[in-house]
């Protein structure tokens, strides 16, 4: 009689162990799903907080080169500060390094507002990409063709 009882204790212990592990796995799964859901929604909110777009370009010939003015719209929730504007050759992907005033100082754009940001470069015939950067690293770009 003692041997059958011993076998029953082993089965009950194994079942209890399976139940404890299953409950632990379910708790861990629930915690991870809530954590990843909150993290992804936080990242999505941060992306919407700062959003800029180039809504227009104006190209003007000057004695120093081509004055490229990008009209930047802040479509995010908070003011943004533009710190850099650059022009790249769209075909080769290389930065046009003969530009003047690519560091922008003091251009702050409120939400819903559009402001011009300019750069002067010696450009030849071709396709170029204008990129505008905020102090938090958000960027906007658009392309244009000369010739």
* pLDDT tens sequence across 98-108: 776 677 777 89
What does pTM read for this prediction?
A: 0.65
CB contact set of 88 (below 8 Å; sequence gap of 6+): 94, 95, 96, 128, 129, 131
Handedness of CA 14, 18, 24, 28 (dihedral sign): positive
Alpha carbons 28 and 8: distance in angstroms, whole number: 30
Asked whether the beta carbons of 99 and 87 are under 8 A apart, the reply is yes
* pLDDT tens sequence across 11-51: 888 899 999 999 999 999 988 888 777 776 666 665 567 89
Counts for the chain of helices (H) and strands (E), in that order = 1, 7
CATH class label, 52-146: mainly beta
Q: Where are the domains of the chain?
A: 1-49, 52-146
* pLDDT tens sequence across 110-137: 999 999 999 898 888 999 999 999 998 8
């Amino acid at each position: 009689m003692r041997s059958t009882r011993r076998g029953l204790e082993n089965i009950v212990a194994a079942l209890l162990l399976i139940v404890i592990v299953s409950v632990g796995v379910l708790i861990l799964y629930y915690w991870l799903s809530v954590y990843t859901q909150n993290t992804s929604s936080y990242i999505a909110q941060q992306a919407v907080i700062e959003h800029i777009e180039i809504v227009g370009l104006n190209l003007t010939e000057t004695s120093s080169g081509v004055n490229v003015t990008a009209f930047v719209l802040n479509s995010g929730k908070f003011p943004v500060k533009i710190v850099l504007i650059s022009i790249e050759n769209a075909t080769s992907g290389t930065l046009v390094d003969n530009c003047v005033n690519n560091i922008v100082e003091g251009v702050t754009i409120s939400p819903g507002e559009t402001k011009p940001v300019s750069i002067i470069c010696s450009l030849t015939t071709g396709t170029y990409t204008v990129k505008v950067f905020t102090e938090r690293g958000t960027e906007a770009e658009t392309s244009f063709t000369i010739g």
